[in-house]
Amino acid sequence: MHILPFGTALSDALVEAIRKMAEHCRRDHLDFVPHVGLRSDRGEHWELMAGPRSYMGTENIFTLGDVSIHITALDQTKCAGKVLDWKDGVGVFEGGTPIV
């Protein structure tokens, strides 16, 4: 389990998925960083994507060992106190859904 400064925990399975995405980014898109984005439709799932670091605020990029993850300030607020997990290729909240 990895705890981010705003109180969100990332499961080991999610960190492994982030590492795999980061490897792909380093190989094919040097400026890209993995990004967690909350889905606004029902608030049950979230997505793992990648985008250009040059468009992300550095204050919203967090280091997990040898990789980085971007989470917007709004999404940080929505998932504070929650555990983000990765099951069967889907981002889920362990222990409930976020505040939407």
Cβ neighbours of residue 29 closer than 8 Å, sequence gap 6 or more: 50, 52
Q: State the pLDDT at residue 46.
A: 86
| Total domains present in the chain | 1
Domain assignment present for 3: no
Domain assignment present for 20: no
| Closest to 69 (Cα-Cα) out of 83, 81, 53 | 53
Cβ pair 70, 61 in contact under 8 A: yes
Domain assignment present for 63: yes
pTM for this one?
A: 0.85
Domain assignment present for 21: no
Q: Which residue has the higher pLDDT, 42 or 77?
A: 77
* pLDDT, the chain, mean: 87
Domain assignment present for 14: no
pLDDT tens readout for residues 48-96 = 999 999 999 899 999 998 889 999 999 999 888 999 999 888 888 886 5
Domain assignment present for 44: yes
Domain interval for residue 71:
32-94
